Structures are given as C-alpha cells and as structure tokens.
Amino acid sequence: MTETPKRILIIRLSAIGDVLRVLPALQVIKKNFPDSYIAWAVEEKAQDILAAHPAIDELFVFPKSSLIKKLKSPRGAWTAVKEFFAFISEIRQKRFDMAIDFHGLFKSGLISRLSGAPKRIGFTMAHTRELNFLFNNRRFPLDTKKLSRIDRNLTLLKKMGLDITHTPPVLHVPPEDREVIRNFLKQQRIDPRRPLVAIHPGTSPTTPYKRWDPYRYAVVADKIIEENGAQIIFTWWQQEIDTVKEILHQMKYRAIIAPETKNLCQLAEIFRYCTLYLGGDTGPMHLAAFAGLPVVAVFGPTDHVVNEPYAHTPHIIIRKELSCSPCRKYTCAKRDCMKSIKEDNVIRAVGIMISSFKQKKAAAQSNPE
C-alpha cells in the first residue's frame, strides 16, 4: 500500500482479551504511518487501557450496554437508534481515510461502512461471520484458520503491504494508577527478594466453563509457597472475589487479595510487580503477557493455538488433549477438559518458570553491569 492515510479508524469492539490482542497490530500501524491520526472504536470494558495509550489519538466508545438496555422496551428502541447514529455521527465528522475492521462481525462491519471511510479493510467471507465481509471493500484472506488472534491481526496488515517486523506493544499506566498500586503493595509489605506470583482464578460471568476448580488453585498456591518461598497475590474483578475467598479458605498459608482495581491499567501495574502469572484463558492472562509477565495458563475448552498468550513473552500452556476439545459448549456439565488437568502438572510448570526467574536474578546480581 503506497498511499499514506491521514486518518485511520481501528475497529475492535470487544472482548477485553480480543481488544488487547490488537495492540501489536496498533504498533505496526503506528510504525508504518507515524504521522497519521489513529482512532479506535471499542466497547466500554476495554476503553481505559486504550485511553492511556500514547499511539491512540481518540477513542469512540460504542455504547453497547446503554443500547441493549433501551432496546428491551418499545419506548426505548427509538432512543437507542438515535444514540447509535449519534455515535456514528461523531465518527463521520473525523472524515477517516481508512477503517480497519479487526472484529469481523455484523456490528463492526456496519460501523466500518457507516464511518464514511473510502477504504474499508477487512477479512474475506471465509474468515468473518454475520455477513461482515459485505461492508468492507478491501478484503484479504488468511492462509489458515488455525492462527493465533495476534497473528491473524498482523497477517491482515501484512496482506495490506505493511511492514510487520516485530515491535513490542506498549501498555501505558497513568501516574495516578501506578501510585494506587504502589501504595497497596507497600502496605502489604511485599518482599522484593521473594517471587511474587499473581493468580487470577476467575473468568467472565459468561464463561464459567473455562474455570479451574477453586480447591485445585488452593493446592497449587500452597505448594508454590512451600517449594519456592513465593508470595501469592490473587487478582479478581467484581463477583470473582467470592471465588478468591473460597480459595483462601482452603489454603494453609497466607495469601494477598489484590485491591478492587478500578481499571485495566491498575491491573497491569500489579502484574508489573509480579514474577509470574497463573490463571485460565482470560483477558487478564493476555494483559499479563503484554505487561511482560511470564504466564502459566490452564486451558480447557478454548483453542490453545488461537488463544495463546503473546508469543514473545515466556509462557507454558497446560491442557489435556481430548476428542471434544476445543469446543464452545457454554453449558457443558461434564467439563472433562478442565477436570482432567491435575495440580501436579501446574505445580511443575510454575516451578520451571520460577527457577528461570531465580537464575536470571542471580545472574543479574553477579553481573551488575
């Protein structure tokens, strides 16, 4: 692509993990078009981590929650329509030259088409859903569907003709959020000489099938403390605090409950202080990986290739090969893919990661230069 767009609109609305996995693509876009104005259309849950990003000039927050609430009543339907077109009007006023639709669904395609951008980039029909491909006028195929979401996004840019040479993604945490977390960890008297392991046992309310059992986390957390002299901090969001309390009730040793983070920036700052992340296939897992924190991930029904953590961050995926996995059966009662993952396998993976951390720390102390 030889022409340099002056104004670029990125469209990736949700979920948190999917939004985060566009960050490497954002860096590529910024590198190829350093003087272009870059905006992003996103839903509410992931907006704060993008609002703090130095490469993003403007955010357009899609009012999904408000629209759903209004559409539940006949009286609110017309108000919802007006709210949606007010959102579109804000986008059109910016006169974008190019819209890049990383989402690939009907709603993202509609936003792309209504944005007014003459160049609307997206995937071909085989790699989109809900007739998304009809809304974009420059469509590119993928060589395979078995591709991580991060590589999928970068491949789209490569097909456009952009240089996708690796550029580390940026997570910017505002000073006020850094101060909140620094004060909390100071109050907890975290020992910097000992490993600090973040465990995030929860998942979103809509994906309970991806959760590992609380008692297993309790067993693993105790063993990490016994074998590595580690400190454990449990991170959580909203109702996930109940799961954390259940785990602590079953543990022999003390663990720290993280504060209720007000945004993703504060959660990323907690991860910045940690040695290792342990948890399931969730948005926080991807956030930890992009924060540079080594990851041990417990995978069940989701595809470990498509949903792997950031490849440039050390990680180990723990999973059980079953004929029924991967799947998207949200109401699965058996959950064999999660139940078959034993504590010993996770403990071993954590031990490998912590040993690597200790070796690097010892090497740094012996070679301060």
What pTM, to 2 d.p., does this model score?
A: 0.94
Query: At residue 156, what is the residue type?
Result: L
Q: What is the pLDDT of residues 182-220, one digit of tens each?
A: 999 999 999 988 999 999 999 988 888 999 999 999 999
The fraction of the chain above a pLDDT of 70, given in percent, is 98
The fraction of the chain above a pLDDT of 90, given in percent, is 85
Cβ-based neighbour number of residue 136 at 10 Å: 25
Give the pLDDT score at 363. 75
Q: What is the pLDDT of residues 277-319, one digit of tens each?
A: 999 999 999 999 999 999 999 999 999 999 999 999 999 999 9
Question: Is 57 inside any structural domain?
Answer: yes
Question: Is 166 inside any structural domain?
Answer: no
End-of-domain residue from the set 107, 128, 159: 159
Q: What is the pLDDT of residues 16-62, one digit of tens each?
A: 999 999 999 999 999 999 999 999 999 999 999 999 999 999 999 99
Q: Is the pLDDT of residue 360 over 90?
A: no
Q: Are residues 336 and 259 in the same domain?
A: yes
Q: Are residues 192 and 282 in the same domain?
A: yes
**φ, ψ for residue 88, nearest 5 deg:** -65, -40
Q: Are residues 79 and 123 in the same domain?
A: yes
Q: Is the pLDDT of residue 221 over 90?
A: yes
Note down the domain range covering 342: 175-366
Question: Is 134 inside any structural domain?
Answer: yes
Q: Are residues 150 and 184 in the same domain?
A: no
Confidence of residue 328 (pLDDT cuts 50, 70, 90): confident
Q: Are residues 325 and 229 in the same domain?
A: yes
Report how far apart the first and last C-alpha atoms of the chain are (Å, whole number). 44
Q: If you average pLDDT over residues 153-163, what whole number do you get? A: 97
Q: Are residues 210 and 118 in the same domain?
A: no
Question: Is 168 inside any structural domain?
Answer: no
**φ, ψ for residue 146, nearest 5 deg:** -85, 75
Give the pLDDT score at 369. 61
Say whether 51 sits in a helix, a strand or coil: helix
Beta strands 231-234 and 119-123: pairing type?
unpaired
Q: Are residues 139 and 205 in the same domain?
A: no
Q: What is the CATH number of the domain that holds 72?
A: 3.40.50.2000
Q: Are residues 324 and 187 in the same domain?
A: yes
Strand residues in the chain grouped as ranges (E): 7-11, 37-43, 58-62, 98-101, 119-123, 138-140, 196-200, 231-234, 256-257, 276-280, 295-298, 315-318
Number of domains within the chain: 2
Question: Is 167 inside any structural domain?
Answer: no
Q: Are residues 155 and 187 in the same domain?
A: no
Say whether 204 sits in a helix, a strand or coil: coil
Question: Is 170 inside any structural domain?
Answer: no
Give the pLDDT score at 1. 53
Question: Is 39 inside any structural domain?
Answer: yes
Average pLDDT, the chain: 94
Give, to the nearest 10 degrees, the angle between helix 241-250 and helix 214-228.
60
Q: Are residues 313 and 201 in the same domain?
A: yes
Q: Are residues 303 and 356 in the same domain?
A: yes
Q: If you average pLDDT over residues 251-270, what whole number do you get? A: 97
State how far the Cα of 246 lies from the Cα of 17, in Å rounded to an integer. Answer: 25
Q: If you average pLDDT over residues 169-175, what whole number do you get? A: 93
Give the pLDDT score at 367. 73
Q: Are residues 149 and 52 in the same domain?
A: yes
Q: Is the pLDDT of residue 150 over 80?
A: yes
Q: What is the pLDDT of residues 88-141, one digit of tens each?
A: 999 999 999 999 999 999 999 999 999 999 999 999 999 999 999 999 999 999
Confidence of residue 329 (pLDDT cuts 50, 70, 90): confident
